[in-house]
Structure 1
Amino acid sequence: MPTRPILEMTMPETRPNLVSPPTLDSPVDVDTLRGTAAGRGRLLVDYGIWAASYFAPHSLSRPVDWTANPTGNRSWAFLLHSFSFVPDLLAHDAALGGTRGRDLSWALMTDWWAAHGDLCAEPPMAWHDHATALRAHNWMLVAQRLREDAPSTGADGDDAPHALPQDTWHAMAARHAEALADPARYSRGTNHGFDQSMVLYELAADAAFDAVPELRGTWGDVAVARIAHEIGTAFGADHGHRENSVLYHEFGLIQLLRVQALRTRLAEVAGLPPLSDQAALIDRATLVMAHMIGPDTTFPLIGDTVRKTPSDIFRTHPLPPSYPAYDFARTGGERGAAPGDRGLVCRETGWFAMRSDWGDGLAVSLLGRCGYRSPYHRQDDDQSFTLKGWAEDWIIDGGLLSYEEKTPMRRYMRSWKAHSLSAPTGVEAARDLDATGAAARITTVVQRPKRLVLGTASRLFGDYVTTRDFEIARQKPEDGRLSVVLTDTLIPGTDAALASRMALRAKGAATYVTRFLLPDDKRIAIDAAEAEVRIAGTRATLVLSIQAAVPPGDIRVLRAVPETDPEGPDAWRSRVFGEAEPAQVLEIAHTTLALQARYELRFEPV
């Protein structure tokens, strides 16, 4: 079954995308040009074509209708109002010379300012919390280029200015600083709020406010206090990120690097309060990042994550002591040095990882989490895990897909069904952070060089007390590399929950199910009599043995169910933003009033 595009505007992968605007004599190879920042800038400068990340190209020539959204996707509108194309326009000038990219940037800035500079409520993305911060940052890049390129004697209103129009820029910068400083617009305790705070600090340092020290000091003080709060909220004392995602741990680390760069770059700005040093946290969060990366050098799809090999985020920053471990993980051992430990546990934020070895791409690795500390990018995945090994995926997660929260497929990707969990049948996951967040935790840890044992607990299903114990160890014989034993319990915690299980059992229906989300390429053989399942890959077979006080009921494989199904989609994953691909679910049914089951996973090399 082919990959199913969710965003109709995604780019084809197998042939060039040729766009022929009416003013052109010959087609433009958009796919070639969009491969570099300078090329994307050329598309805009020469052809009025914007190739936004993850979307097909669209016209973006003056006059721009800032309320339009030809894709119908909020992420496209977010990128538009963030002015995410500015770095590409400036890269065009750096690569090809001249100032056409700079001048177009300024012209679009003044156009947008004329339409939306009054803090309007429509369109929603115009003054969106995060879009406002990113737009201000990109506009500062243009302002700085104008300052550097010519003396500051340009006239306001020029479409192609030769210097920065001071009055216009001062108004732009002040309005954005006011919006970012406004407590009602501040997204406190989120990655959005983190960016808002950093950009407010940058704006306070801008030369536009050299003559207004009271504004600089006020905004600077607000920004410094908020940045300190955001860092403490984003990262736990164990140096893991709280926003429930591998991708957002990386994003949080990038934000820390930006704070450190601002601390250095703006240290001499008069009247600007200093930022605190984050070198120690950067070092420790980098080591956590190294353990999150799989043996295939990609991110496991836990939380709102896409499949990617991380780029070197330190290429323009000082290297922390843990950088060799990070570089080793992201290059598959081609560079750097292996981390000293095979396992890592972040007990507060809920992350845990274990590898058979750091030797090669065939190593087996497990990454899991059990911690509900933030509602941002939250999925119903406490106690879920992914398993990679033998250069293949085995146990997988649903992934991000998109930020279109109301679509059936996005709702599925966030739900417990897109993860490998045990659950009471007919019960939805609880998403109240105040009511259930504290219950999601790692309860016990025993860590040895070749063995990791940990207990986890959650109230993911509200009235049910849920535990899952992990025993992860080097497999014997060691040619299997790594074995995993899961012990799952689900106990009704209220009379109503118990009554519902009794009613299901009286009907002969399943009371609980354990589900494992598997890639579509695996061949599955079920031996119900022996309570054993063999999952065959290319280089190995994963053998799952099931033990329970009462033998399990039905064991079945569920193939991809489309979103048009009355019950909604099932058995999908998303490795690429905007695209869903078929997966399969191994589902094990139980008929007991409380669940207690043991699952042993071990590899047999082919």
Structure 2
Amino acid sequence: MVESRLSLVIDGPVVGGTGGSVPIDVSEVMAGRAGFVGLPPVELGRDIDWRMDPHRNRSWAMNLHALRWMGGLVVAYEKSGDRALLERAAEIAEDWVRKNPGRGAGVSPWAWAEHPVALRAPALVRLSAHVQAGWLSASLVQHARLLSDPSRYRHGHNHGLDQDIALLTIGCRFRRGRWTELAVNRMGASAAAAIDDQGALHEQAPKYGIYVHRRLGIALDAIRKGGAAVPEGLAERRRSLEAYVSHATQPDGRLVPIGDSPADTRPAGYRNQEETVKVFDRGYVFGRTRWNDRESAYYSIRFGPGRRHHGHEDHLGVTYHAHGRDILVEAGFHSYEKTAYREWTTSPEAHNIPIVVGAKFREGTATRLEHVGVEPARQTFRLADDAYGVVRTRSVLVNHGPDLMAVLDEVPAGAEVRSLWHLAPSLRVVSNRDGRVVLADGNWRATMIQLPAREPEVRPGTVSPGYLRKADTTTVLSAPARAVLTVIVPGTDDPEVSVSDGLITVGGVRFHAWRLTTA
């Protein structure tokens, strides 16, 4: 054990891991370099400047101060017995403690921001299993006091869960019952607020369902190992998240990119559900033809409460995936940087939504789900809100076998609407005439039909296929009208279409053109 002259023994159990997973290259860290969030490694040296932010990236700076990378050295020491790893971990932690005594001049704002504090504490606790030092014990007490401060607590948020795990780990290590009790009680109340009875997380991004599910697993393990009682219903709420994540996963294994959910996220270990269509009251419809079939059609629809936390202004938005391909996509999540592009990705125009011509969008408007019709081979939905000051209504029909999606957008007399569609980067427009846009991916084709049959505006666009990544794509904006019907037909460049007495037949699929109900 590494000792210091100012030794204060803390002998409680070490629980809670190291603050979460952050991959490190041990040899790189030992050489004085560190790389986070996929950005190039940075030379830190032995005498670290904790105010640095070389990439001007919020996530990079947060990870620097979270010290989970230091915790990674401790874990590597525990596996290998190489004392050089432990000694370097202790040097890094002591350097951080000495140079960041508290908030103020000359200290990075990330040093004592609430989330780095929460993620750093478990890494310091893990270090304390091998290093007994006054500076370390004092820092852990300082962390516990901040984590106990109600003014800094993020109730019902994933940061709040991390704060609770951190306080729990310190409470167990110091055998301080009041810290442990506060952490466990807050955790139970926070989970009840964040996760509803259906398992939907109120942060409005399925990716955070994965994060909270993983962190609650760590929390439950820490509670049990620390000898505390698990709050009633906490394990059940964690399990309920599995349905939310599973339904939000496309047939190709990727998470549908709703809210701040990167489009390349691949959930692992979540069981398929029995239902092929699920309506979550917090604002999601997820549907598919069948499970365990990569060729299955899949769609998502957004409604519900106004934007909050990690959500986007995506209400009435839809995505569509069929024949093993993305067809309609969202702009996705690029980063948390305060840039014009980040702001655009959260805006209505970055999603597949109806835009009311000449009207101002009202942020945070809730959307109603007014109709749900679910049959094995066909589903219909109707949604409405007044986000543009007038009622806009979207009706959606999804047919399975043959695959087809029809979307009807309507506004009252005197107003006009334009339907905006973001196509997958793999698709290119090969034809645009008479209200038909033909899309191609190699030899594969799909057709977008619009009524009234006016030529839509086709223009270049951008989406984010992953963190800090952009891809060129195409957007299609319908001609303005009081009502616009858009039909997506995968697998063909020439679907048979007929319209008679308000009934439309597309490739053998028949429905009422202006109500989207079964004919």
Alpha-carbon distance in structure 2 between the residues aligned to 1:38 and 1:553: 52
Partner of 2:478: 588
> CA-to-partner distance for each residue in 1:434-464, whole Å, 9 max, x for gaps?
xx2xx32323322233332222223433x13
Does residue 441 of structure 2 align to residue 537 of structure 1?
yes
> CA-to-partner distance for each residue in 1:258-289, whole Å, 9 max, x for gaps?
232223222x2xxx564334333233321221
Residue correspondence of structure 1 range 78-477 to structure 2 within 5 A: 78-94=62-78, 96-120=80-104, 122-144=107-129, 146=130, 163-165=131-133, 167-206=134-173, 208=174, 210=175, 216-266=176-226, 268=227, 274-310=230-266, 312=268, 323-325=270-272, 339-346=273-280, 348-372=281-305, 375-405=308-338, 407-432=339-364, 436=365, 439-461=366-388, 463-474=389-400
How far off is 1:37 after superposition?
7.8
Unaligned runs of at least 5 residues, structure 1? 1-35, 147-162, 211-215, 314-322, 326-338, 493-497, 502-510, 560-570
Alpha-carbon distance in structure 2 between the residues aligned to 1:237 and 1:393: 30
Partner of 2:41: 57
Alpha-carbon distance in structure 1 between the residues aligned to 2:78 and 2:165: 26
Alpha-carbon distance in structure 1 between the residues aligned to 2:271 and 2:78: 32
Does residue 489 of structure 2 align to residue 602 of structure 1?
yes
How far off is 1:217 after superposition?
3.3
Partner of 2:61: 77
Query: 2:373 touches 2:381 (CA, 8 Å); kept in 1?
Result: yes
How far off is 1:528 after superposition?
4.0
Distance 1:260 1:92, change over 3 A: closer
SS of residue in 1 equivalent to 2:192: helix
Alpha-carbon distance in structure 2 between the residues aligned to 1:445 and 1:411: 32
SS of residue in 2 equivalent to 1:65: coil
Unaligned runs of at least 5 residues, structure 2? 1-20, 494-519
Distance 1:64 1:581, change over 3 A: same
> CA-to-partner distance for each residue in 1:282-311, whole Å, 9 max, x for gaps?
333212211211111111221111133535
How far off is 1:196 after superposition?
1.3
How far off is 1:397 after superposition?
0.7
Distance 1:444 1:143, change over 3 A: farther
Alpha-carbon distance in structure 1 between the residues aligned to 2:78 and 2:59: 28
SS of residue in 2 equivalent to 1:464: coil
How far off is 1:345 after superposition?
1.2
SS of residue in 2 equivalent to 1:590: coil
Amino acid at match of 2:138: A
Alpha-carbon distance in structure 2 between the residues aligned to 1:421 and 1:410: 18
Partner of 1:9: none
How far off is 1:554 after superposition?
4.7
Distance 1:75 1:342, change over 3 A: same
Amino acid at match of 1:223: A
How far off is 1:100 after superposition?
2.1
Which has the larger helix fraction?
1
How far off is 1:414 after superposition?
1.1
SS of residue in 2 equivalent to 1:285: helix
TM-score by length of 1: 0.73
Alpha-carbon distance in structure 2 between the residues aligned to 1:281 and 1:490: 40
Alpha-carbon distance in structure 2 between the residues aligned to 1:220 and 1:120: 29
Partner of 1:574: 464
Distance 1:164 1:404, change over 3 A: same
Distance 1:87 1:387, change over 3 A: farther
How far off is 1:373 after superposition?
5.5
Distance 1:38 1:278, change over 3 A: closer
Query: 1:177 touches 1:219 (CA, 8 Å); kept in 2?
Result: yes
Query: 1:39 touches 1:92 (CA, 8 Å); kept in 2?
Result: no
Query: 1:242 touches 1:374 (CA, 8 Å); kept in 2?
Result: no
> CA-to-partner distance for each residue in 1:210-249, whole Å, 9 max, x for gaps?
3xxxxx3332333233212321232223211221212112
> CA-to-partner distance for each residue in 1:188-208, whole Å, 9 max, x for gaps?
3322122112222222222x2
How far off is 1:553 after superposition?
5.0
Query: 1:51 touches 1:57 (CA, 8 Å); kept in 2?
Result: yes
Partner of 2:404: 483
Q: Give the total of aligned pairs.
A: 472
How far off is 1:420 after superposition?
0.7
Partner of 2:425: 520
Alpha-carbon distance in structure 2 between the residues aligned to 1:39 and 1:231: 30
Alpha-carbon distance in structure 2 between the residues aligned to 1:262 and 1:277: 16
How far off is 1:135 after superposition?
0.8
Alpha-carbon distance in structure 2 between the residues aligned to 1:55 and 1:366: 33
> CA-to-partner distance for each residue in 1:63-121, whole Å, 9 max, x for gaps?
11111111111211111011131243134324543122222222111111112233447
Alpha-carbon distance in structure 2 between the residues aligned to 1:261 and 1:459: 46
Distance 1:120 1:221, change over 3 A: farther
> CA-to-partner distance for each residue in 1:462-501, whole Å, 9 max, x for gaps?
x132222222221xxx2x4x32221222349xxxxx7xx5
Alpha-carbon distance in structure 2 between the residues aligned to 1:192 and 1:430: 28
Alpha-carbon distance in structure 2 between the residues aligned to 1:63 and 1:87: 18
Query: 1:552 touches 1:588 (CA, 8 Å); kept in 2?
Result: no
Distance 1:102 1:449, change over 3 A: farther
Alpha-carbon distance in structure 1 between the residues aligned to 2:146 and 2:427: 52
Identity of aligned residues (%): 21
Amino acid at match of 2:116: A
How far off is 1:423 after superposition?
0.6
Alpha-carbon distance in structure 1 between the residues aligned to 2:222 and 2:232: 10
Query: 1:370 touches 1:382 (CA, 8 Å); kept in 2?
Result: yes
Partner of 1:335: none
TM-score by length of 2: 0.84
What CA RMSD, in Å, does the superposition of the two structures yield over aligned residues? 2.5
